[in-house]
Each structure stands twice: as C-alpha cells, then as structure tokens.
C-alpha cells in the first residue's frame, strides 16, 4: 500500500493548474482517482502530513536543547531541531511547501542548517499554493503565524527572524512563485531551493515549439540574476520527466540560457539507489543539478534526497 501511495503522490503532485494554462486564472485541482481504497487515501494523507496526531504532538513541553515540533491548525508543521535554546535570539527560518514531514524533518535536522523549519501542505496541484499567496500580505501573515507558534512552543523566544529560505518540492513551487514575484518579499528572502517542481506554460504562439513562457519565468529569472552575483542562493534539482507543459528540465535550461551558463555532462550515482546525476551547472550561488528518471518514483526520489542535494548549499551559505 505504501508503494501505491508513493506512485499516486508522484503523479498527482506534478500536475495541477499548470496542466491547463499557467497564469490563466483559477482552476480546480485534480481529484484523486475514485478507485482508490480508503487505506490508500489514508496513506496518501500521511505522506503529505495532513493526518498527524495534533493533540499528542502539541502537548510536548519545551526543553532547552530537545527537538520540538508542533502541528498547527490545518496540519501545518513547525519543527525546531535544536530546541528552545536556538530561538532566544532572531533565528533563521526555512519554509517548505509540499512534502511529508517524515521526509523533511530528518533531512533538515541532518543538514545542520538550524533555526526553524515550517512545512506547509496545502493540497494537490500547484493551484492551491498559488491561491494561498495571491494577496500581497499573505507571506507576511505566514511569517507572523510561524513566529507566534514558536513563541508558544518556547516562552521567551524571539519574535524576530534573521535569514529566510523557501524550499519546495513538486507543486509547492506555486507558492514560491507568487511570493518572490513581489519585490519586497524577494528582498527579504535569502535563498530559494526547488526540488523537481518548476513548471510554467509555453509562449501562446509557440506551444508546438515548446518555447518556455518568459513572463511566467520572470520572478525566477530575476532571482537567478541575484544568485549569479552571490546576493541570493538559488539551487534547483530536476528529473527528466516529460510533461505537456514546460518540464522541470526545460525551465531549468531556460534559466541557464538566460544567464549564459553551460551544463556540464555527468554520469554519476546520486544520493539514492535509483538516482543518477546527468548534469550540473554552477555560477556564483546559482546551482542546477539534472537527474535521469522519467517516472513517478523518480519524482518522489527528488523529495527524499533534498537533504543531500539542496540543503547542503543552504548550510554552507548560512554557516558563513
């Protein structure tokens, strides 16, 4: 049953509003297949962290150096790997969109990034993430909620944030897109980490040629410009999955073309048994890593490998 859920996750998280037309307005997220069993649906819920035991987790008492986690209303998770002692002064925050806490928390802890990890799972498909951050004040409100939760977990914790990073897997990029599309937000954010999830549409008159829509990529292109200069960190991984809209390979290649950066071909074992790295490209603090794999399990591998592929860049940057 766990394998079935992983396959469903891999497919249904990569589709969403993009499957229609990016930026073309609201559309419903795809429904889960009606043939799924109750057990499969429950496993899928657990995989995105929406079926956690809220009461049991929220009753943990803060201890100075012990890891703490809180599940807030709606299944959002706030995780403090180094306990309350690490949030007495303004602390670093990583906000991750779309991914099971059981995968994200160990990866974050192992990375040594420190600070606080907030995990948001808002639904199936990028539309749910885009909608949540459409309004100008939505990201600021999110930050306020996170600091409030941290202060409840750790009385006396700072209400101030130091550095902020956004990370996402699959459909979660929809939130990142709308957040960094506002200049004030982009200035506040130090790093963006995208795991196999940057999709856009094609230029309306060049769909058959699969020409990536430049307007939809504008926010990411501007952030890449800053990363090349070292002002920001922008790290991307992608599989080789082909999609009816611009794939993660095509969007990554678009960014590299805009920055005039060539890929270096590779044929190396990746961090998971079935992951094989086929290319990389680096300049300044812009990093793009390409992997083989064109099926659902390959897409899921990208999430489970985030602690080995993307978080090390953030650790190295913030450790300085």
What CATH number is attached to the domain comprising 75? 3.40.50
- pLDDT for res 8: 38
Sign of CA dihedral 195, 196, 201, 206: positive
Q: How many domains does the chain have?
A: 1
- The CA-to-CA distance between both ends of the chain, in Å, stands at 44
Domain ranges, residue 127: 2-319
The tens place of each residue's pLDDT in the chain, 320 residues long, gives: 343 344 334 434 444 565 334 333 333 333 333 333 344 334 334 444 444 444 334 445 545 789 999 998 766 899 999 999 999 999 999 999 999 999 999 999 999 999 999 999 998 889 999 999 999 999 999 999 999 999 999 999 999 999 999 999 999 999 999 999 999 999 999 999 999 999 999 999 999 999 999 999 999 999 999 999 999 999 999 999 999 999 999 999 999 999 999 999 999 999 999 999 999 999 999 999 999 999 999 999 999 999 999 999 999 999 98
- pLDDT for res 1: 36
DSSP 8-state secondary structure symbol assigned to residue 21: -
Look up the pTM and report it. 0.84
Interatomic CA distance for residues 1 and 138, integer angstroms: 37
- pLDDT for res 320: 83
- Alpha-helical (H) ranges within the chain are 2-12, 38-47, 54-58, 101-111, 126-132, 138-153, 173-180, 183-188, 214-228, 248-259, 296-304, 306-309, 311-319
């Amino acid at each position: 049953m766990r394998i079935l859920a992983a396959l469903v996750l891999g497919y249904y998280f990569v589709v969403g509003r993009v499957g229609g037309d990016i930026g073309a307005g609201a559309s419903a997220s795809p429904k889960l297949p009606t043939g799924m069993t109750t057990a499969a649906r429950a496993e899928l819920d657990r995989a995105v962290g929406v079926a956690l035991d809220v009461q049991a987790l929220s009753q943990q008492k803060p201890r100075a150096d012990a890891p703490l986690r809180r599940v807030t209303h709606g299944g959002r998770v706030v995780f403090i790997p180094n306990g309350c002692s690490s949030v007495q002064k303004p602390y670093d925050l990583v906000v991750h969109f779309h991914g099971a806490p059981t995968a994200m928390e160990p990866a974050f802890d192992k990375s040594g990034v420190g600070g606080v990890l907030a995990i948001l799972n808002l639904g199936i498909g990028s539309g749910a993430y885009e909608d949540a951050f459409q309004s100008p004040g939505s990201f600021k409100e999110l930050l306020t909620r996170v600091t409030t939760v941290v202060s409840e977990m750790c009385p006396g914790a700072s209400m101030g944030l130091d550095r902020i990073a956004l990370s996402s897997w699959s459909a979660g990029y929809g939130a990142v897109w709308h957040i960094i599309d506002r200049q004030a937000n982009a200035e506040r954010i130090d790093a963006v980490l995208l795991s196999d999830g940057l999709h856009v549409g094609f230029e309306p008159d060049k769909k058959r040629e699969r020409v990536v829509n430049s307007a939809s990529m504008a926010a990411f292109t501007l952030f890449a410009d800053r990363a090349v200069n070292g002002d920001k960190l922008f790290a991307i991984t992608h599989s080789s999955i082909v999609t009816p809209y611009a794939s993660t390979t095509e969007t990554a290649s678009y960014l590299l073309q805009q920055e005039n950066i060539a890929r270096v071909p590779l044929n190396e074992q990746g961090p998971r048994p079935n992951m094989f790295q086929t290319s990389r490209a680096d300049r300044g603090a812009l990093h793009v890593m390409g992997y083989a794999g064109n099926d659902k399990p390959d897409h899921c591998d990208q999430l489970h490998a985030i602690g080995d592929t993307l978080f090390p860049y953030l650790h190295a940057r913030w450790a300085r």
